[in-house]
Amino acid sequence: MKSTLLAWFSFLLFAFVLSVPSIEADTEPVLDIQGEELKAGTEYIITSIFRGAGGGDVAATNKTCPDDVIQYSLDVFQGLPVTFSPASSEDDVIRVSTDLNIKFSIKKACDRSSVWKIQKSSNSEVQWLVTTGGEEGNPGCDTFTNWFKIEKGAGTFGYNYKLVFCPEDICPSVGLCRDVGIYFESNRGRILSLSDKLSPFLVVFRKVGPLSSSI
């Protein structure tokens, strides 16, 4: 009896030890507006969950050569597509709570990188702005400003998410963890920013392709 129990116990322990890493490696995939998994390297438009007034696509203040990351206040303007690339590229599915580079997908070469990063703001109301000029890959403390995460958004409304800056696995000593919100600046418009005063910008992802214009 005793040995059966022991065998059963070691089996449970073994099963537990085996299952832990796979739970961690397999967080939920992020889904686009059609319920399909987001894929690394595929182009998406990031857009507000709200349509109409105040609900527009994410773009840059300069669409030819992207600089600061903004959100259009009107949904009639087409946003600038982005691609995602995870810090650990074990599969090509984009998953919630994983570190990602976000890059504007542009046709023409620019002298400035189109990889998103955060940059200290001179404005006292927001601490950090989201802009471009970041570096892709090389996760570590030298590149901590370039890593974002996608987390599940609020409530039960469809496939909604928020963008988060929280590079706790990339560089634990940074200690900065904030939702990306929208801050209105008169010269730049609705700029994506980090601040403890802003509410999270709730978004959905629309795959760029032949169908995207009909959604």
Closest CB to ligand NAG among residues 72, 165 = 72
Closest CB to ligand NAG among residues 10, 62 = 62
Task: Determine the size of the site formed for ligand NAG (CB under 6 A).
Answer: 3
Closest CB to ligand NAG among residues 65, 198 = 65
Least Å distance, CB 115 to ligand NAG, is 16
Least Å distance, CB 61 to ligand NAG, is 7
Structure tokens at 174: 């940074």
Closest CB to ligand NAG among residues 4, 187 = 187
For the segment 60-99, give every residue that binds ligand NAG (CB under 6 A): 62, 64-65
Q: How far apart are CA 63 and CA 180, in angstroms?
A: 21
Least Å distance, CB 51 to ligand NAG, is 27
Is 19:26 a contact under the CB 8 Å cutoff? no
Q: Is residue 106 involved in binding ligand NAG (CB under 6 A)?
A: no
Q: How far apart are CA 201 and CA 50, in angstroms?
A: 10
- Phi/psi region, residue 107 (left: phi>0; alpha: psi -120 to 50; beta: rest), is alpha
Least Å distance, CB 158 to ligand NAG, is 35
Least Å distance, CB 207 to ligand NAG, is 27
Is 71:192 a contact under the CB 8 Å cutoff? yes
Is 181:200 a contact under the CB 8 Å cutoff? yes
| Class of residue 209 by CB neighbours under 10 A (exposed 0-12, middle 13-18, buried 19+) | exposed
Of 7-15, 22-30, 44-52, 59-67, which part binds ligand NAG (CB under 6 A)?
A: 59-67
Closest CB to ligand NAG among residues 114, 195 = 114
Quote the DSSP letter at residue 146: G
Question: Position of tokens 């773009």?
Answer: 59
Of 58-66, 71-79, 124-132, 174-182, which part binds ligand NAG (CB under 6 A)?
A: 58-66
Closest listed residue to residue 131, CA positions, set 142, 120, 141, 139:
120
Which residues of this protein are in contact with ligand NAG, per CB under 6 A? 62, 64-65
